[in-house]
Structure 1
Amino acid sequence: MDLHEMAGGRPGDAQELPGLDSLYTATVEGRPSDELEDLRAVLCRLPMLGPYNAMLVEVQRPGSLYVATAPAWHQDFGRRLRPGARPLVILKPFGPVEFVYDVSDTEGPALPADVLSPFRVRGPITEEGLVRFADRLRTRAIGYRQTADPQAPGRTERVGTWDPSRPASKGEIRYTITVDEALNPAARLATVFHELGHIYCDHLQGPTATQRHQYRQLSERRREFEADIVSWLACGRLRIDSAAGRDLRGYAEADGSMPPVSVQAIVHALGKVEAIGGGLRSLAAMVSGPPASAAEEAESQDMLDFDPGP
């Protein structure tokens, strides 16, 4: 599978890799590791960063474990930069760029034991947590409803006609996500992540010329694969008990290959999903209940792992 192949575009577009696809291709070319697992490993290893910035850090310094600004290393951890420490550039909210450093470029007291997993959910997904997240969807012009439909665990529909270049007005609904009410809260949340993947990967074609302009012409199988990857990564970053990893196995061909996807589109969509919850830390606190037991943690990890099989 070439994870970084352009997954299609609008009619007439040159078949070129978007920026992040090109950058990330250069970092993994010739590496034997499975690219899908590699992508998840990067994003789950750097939860302190948004998805796009995590990928930028990986491009600049593969294997980075924990990054922070120089003042944060000193103030939060009592560590200082080593001589010759190399700064890594990330995008700064409401500004141009910011410089951060990996823990390997610092010295001082050991990091606290739980610092590498600061944004994971601490317990099972609750009904109340799902409702809180669903309520936040309306701030992105997305409606949410539940219905009894075991044949279709989730679907998304466009609502009306509108110009995608115009910001949604207050109270406007442009999409409606419908989820099977029989699913447990974690499965429903993973399904919402999947449907948001369709929205933010530009999989949905609208009735007007302006709505069609942002539509990426992919096969249904490739659209579903990208949306499943978005859900799988969102669950992985939060450590949510979800079967999303197992679902990906169904896309493997007899030779083990997978449909090509756009890393750019997937990482963009993942960032949008986390932004709905106010960032990864807020999202984790929003959707989860009391801490899980050790046995539940082990089972959760098994559900998140992806193994394409022989």
Structure 2
Amino acid sequence: MDLHDAVGAIGGQTRDTPELPGLDSLYAAAAAGRPSDELEDLRAVLCRLPMLGPYNAMLVEVQRPGALYVATAWTWRHEFGRHPRPGARPLVILKPFMPVEFVYDVSETDGRPLPQGVMDPFRASGPVTEEGLSAFTGRLPDEAISYRETPFGSAQAGRTQTVGSWDPGRAPRKGEIRYAITVNDSTDPATRLATLFHELGHIYCGHLAGAGAQRHQRRALSPESQEFEAEIVSWLACGRLRIDSPSGRYLHGHLQPDGTMPPVSVQAVVHALGKVEAIAGGMRSLAAMVSGPPARDEEEPSAQEMLDFGAWEP
């Protein structure tokens, strides 16, 4: 499947089923021949394009490797005083409630210089705070997830359990809890947030019984691969926020004896990362939430913020 096939498959989908078939093969084709490690390469892409949700960042990278900052033609003109050059190549991304949107990389535009700091506006403004962690975890019940912190009698950082039995094809009812996440309370807020991202990775990668089976048609995974996928989700989420986490060190502990990665799915990881960011309403809101006063719901997002489509991604 090439990019045109993938985009064609997206065009007829609804908000409830915006799958991106073939993301694993698309990414493998885009990364073929690159000397960098696959994980570092994936992280570099997602951290370089934080103004996009994870799926859109991957789509842009497939079409234009090395893209630095993308925006619609309208945004370039009206917010930055720039315009796409004649013959500039538009890049296809997903559009909420519509098939696609077209954006242009900064390298394909001319006009006023970019304002200082505009290339990296989504990072957390400081350390993760207790208030920020609480603001994020306070949204979990809306996702049918409960959260609590407790001292563990071992070095275990966290765990997730399913609650009751339910049909994975049915949306959760209001107030229904399907998953219970427990995190070790003996660590600092940033480490607890990274642990929470890991546990959410298990949920949204479809590792738990009955979770997401209809959405991903998941193959059987070994416990090692499940831990590796969940840790990649945490590592990428922390990387996009530019916050310190131990995930990078833990990832090396999951490598196979010959130094290769256990079998993982880029599509499952990117799907899970998009779901994690969507809990906060997208990357910009997540960054503001965990390191400062929670973003106000009544604030009207700018046109460029609307390129972060995390809330609509699978």
TM-score by length of 1: 0.84
Q: 1:138 aligns with which of 117, 127, 141?
A: 141
Structure 1 equivalent of residue 115 of structure 2: 112
Q: Which residue of 2 aligns with 1:295?
A: none
DSSP-derived class of the 2:102 partner:
strand
Change (3 A) 1:213 1:119: closer
Give the Cα–Cα distance (whole angstroms) in 2 for the partners of residues 164 and 218 of structure 1: 19
- Alignment gaps of 5+ in structure 1: 1-16, 291-310
Q: 1:96 is paired with a residue of what secondary structure?
A: strand
- CA offsets per residue over residues 159-196 of structure 1, 9 Å max, x none? 00101111101000000000001111000000000000
Is it true that 1:171 corresponds to 2:162 in the alignment? no
- Given candidates 127, 138, 152, the residue that maps to 2:156 is 152
Paired with 2:198 and 2:158, the residues of 1 have a C-alpha distance of 8
The residue type paired with residue 159 of structure 2 is R
The partner residue of 2:246 within 210, 231, 243 is 243
SS of 2:98's equivalent in the other structure is: coil
Corresponding residue SS for 2:75: helix
Q: Distance in 1 between matches of 2:215 and 2:75?
A: 45
Aligned-partner Cα distance in 1 for 2:21–2:78:
38
| Coordinate RMSD, CA, aligned | 1.9
Deviation at 1:30, TM superposition (A): 2.0
Aligned-pair distance for 1:109?
1.5
Partner of 2:191: 187
Cα gap change, 1:200 to 1:86, in 2 (>3 Å): same
Q: 1:125-172, CA deviations, whole angstroms, 9 ceiling, x for partnerless residues?
A: 011111111110111000001111043210000000101111101000
Letter in 1 for 2:291: S
Aligned AA (1:167): A
Which of residues 33, 36, 41 in structure 2 aligns to 1:33?
36
Residue pair 2:169, 2:214 contacting (<8 A) in 1 also:
no
* Divergent runs of 4+, >6 A: 210-213
**Cα 1:159–1:259 shift into 2, 3 Å:** same
Partner in structure 1 of residue 73 of structure 2: 70
Q: TM-score, normalised by structure 2?
A: 0.83
Q: Which of 191, 195, 201 is the aligned partner of 1:197?
A: 201
Q: CA deviation at 1:65?
A: 0.5
Distance in 2 (alpha carbons) for counterparts of 1:237 and 1:66: 14
Aligned length: 272
- AA at the equivalent of 2:77: H
Distance 2:107 2:186 in 1: 47
| 2:270 match | 267
Percent pairwise identity: 72
In structure 2, how many angstroms separate the alpha carbons of the residues matched to 1:289 and 1:237? 16
> 1:107 is paired with a residue of what secondary structure?
strand
* Counterpart position of 1:255: 258
Pairing partner for 1:124 from 98, 108, 127: 127
In structure 1, the residue matched to 2:229 is 226
What pairs up with 1:4-83 in 2 under 5 angstroms? 18-83=21-86
Q: Distance in 2 between matches of 1:212 and 1:275?
A: 17
8 A Cα contact 1:81 1:106, kept in partner: yes
Q: For the Cα contact (< 8 Å) 2:207–2:226, is it kept in 1?
A: yes
